[in-house]
Amino acid sequence: MHGTSTPRGPRVRALLGELAAAGRTDPVPGGPPAAAATPPPRWHRLLVTLAVATAVAALAFTVLALVDDQRITGADRWLKLWKFAVSISVYAATVAWMVRLVRVHRRTAAVVGGLAGAALAIELVIIAGQAARGTTSHFNEDTPLDGLLFSVMGMAIVFVWLATVVLALVLLRERIAGAGLATGLHWGLGVAAVAMIGGMLMIDPVNEWLLASTGNPPNTAGGAHTVGAPDGGPGLPVVGWSTTAGDLRVGHFIGLHSLQALPLLGFLVDRATHWSDAQRRALVRIAGIGWLGLVLLVLWQAVRAEPLVRPGWVTLGTGALLVLALAAAAVPVLRSRGEPARTDVPADPPVPAG
């Protein structure tokens, strides 16, 4: 009989395969088979469909941006749609994967995931419709129709925020395989929820209060994302963040992408077999605190009408203190020696501090 060997695929493909299967709650040896307790996990159809559809839409908006140079509030009208389409595609794919990990409250996770997907689809349709009309979608209350559409978008984002919070609570009750991944999921959802709340700083009446309390001129619409200058001024390529004033979109963007970054970090930390589960939880928790600190730092910078690309000494000093604090917390964890992580049973998901 000839021996057999298994060909090794590329490292990236292997990691992607592991990530797709990450979080499975494998049965305890000697216990009942998992299939008898719950059906195999499935991808959320609506969210997967939305992710694919918005990815295709992003390609279409790329073509439109190349052939149509009309600008709205200083920005290419199709570039804004491209950014939203890409963002929604990434969010939908991420949440579809997270819903797949849920077993205890699978129906709840599926419902909130579907609500979030439907809300984001409605928002993108409104943004596209307003762009086709040659007008703005956000902060636009010029006509009753514009005001109504902006209100609908606001309600849609509330649904997305609620879905994020509920999904975080649901995943807290799950036995996620991998201490680092479990911690990354909890902190990623938590930081994203905080960043969504930070988005309220852009919308009246909160934005009116913010600009008045910081001595900046009031906005002329239903809100604004720039502090210290009108929206639509000089900005960074693609993202458009202001280079002359504070921009509230920076913290919103960084916070939302904790949904991908922190679970991915936890997944990679779990690959390090020389660390104990306690070390993995601690390291990802420190990263989550650091990510939240960065979100709050750039929001504070924006509120003070300071451009992201021209930070003052106060911002730089605070950032340096944050880095030093994180390093001081991480060094003892890395130097500690604990029991090797168990691979036969899934780790109980930790509860983030605070």
Do the beta carbons of residue 146 and residue 135 sit within 8 Å? yes
State the average pLDDT over residues 36-59: 81
Confidence band of 39 (pLDDT split at 50, 70, 90): low
Q: Please give the single-letter amino acid code of residue 174.
A: E
Nearest-angstrom CA–CA distance, 73 and 67:
19
Nearest-angstrom CA–CA distance, 106 and 171:
10
Neighbour tally for 204: CB within 10 Å? 17
Nearest-angstrom CA–CA distance, 5 and 283:
37
Question: Quick one: tokens of 142?
Answer: 């010029």
Per-residue model confidence (pLDDT) at position 1: 45
DSSP summary character for residue 247:
E
Give how far Cα 90 sits from Cα of 93, 134, 256, 302, 341, Å: 5, 27, 10, 25, 31
DSSP summary character for residue 166:
H
Which residues, including other chains, have CB under 8 Å from residue 91's CB and lie 6 or more apart? 120, 256, 259
State the average pLDDT over residues 191-205: 88
Nearest-angstrom CA–CA distance, 303 and 246:
6
Per-residue model confidence (pLDDT) at position 138: 81
Which residues, including other chains, have CB under 8 Å from residue 8's CB and lie 6 or more apart? 14
Neighbour tally for 22: CB within 10 Å? 22
Q: What is 41-174's CATH number?
A: 1.20.120
State the average pLDDT over residues 148-171: 89
Average pLDDT value over all residues in the chain? 82
Max mean pLDDT among 58-72, 107-121, 147-161, 279-293 falls in 279-293
Nearest-angstrom CA–CA distance, 152 and 138:
11
Nearest-angstrom CA–CA distance, 177 and 243:
44
Per-residue model confidence (pLDDT) at position 4: 45
Residue 188 has pLDDT above 50, yes or no: yes
Q: Which residue has the higher pLDDT, 132 or 351?
A: 132
Q: Which residue has the higher pLDDT, 73 or 285?
A: 285
Nearest-angstrom CA–CA distance, 132 and 137:
10
Say how many CA atoms lie within 13 Å of 213 toward its Cβ. 9
- For the chain, which residues make up each domain, given as ranges? 41-174, 182-354
Bridge-based pairing state of the strands 75-76 and 226-227: unpaired
Burial code of 261-270, b = ≥16 C-beta within 10 A, e = fewer? bbbbbbbebb
Q: Please give the single-letter amino acid code of residue 111.
A: V
DSSP summary character for residue 72:
E
Q: What is the DSSP string of 82-114?
A: HHHHHHHHHHHHHHHHHHHT--TTHHHHHHHHH
Helices (DSSP H) in the chain: which residue ranges? Answer: 11-21, 34-37, 45-67, 77-100, 106-132, 144-172, 179-198, 206-213, 249-256, 258-270, 277-303, 313-335
Nearest-angstrom CA–CA distance, 287 and 261:
10
Residue 8 has pLDDT above 70, yes or no: no
Confidence band of 17 (pLDDT split at 50, 70, 90): low
Per DSSP, the three-state class of 243 is coil
**pLDDT, tens only, 296-324:** 999 999 999 999 999 999 999 999 999 99
Q: Please give the single-letter amino acid code of residue 261.
A: A
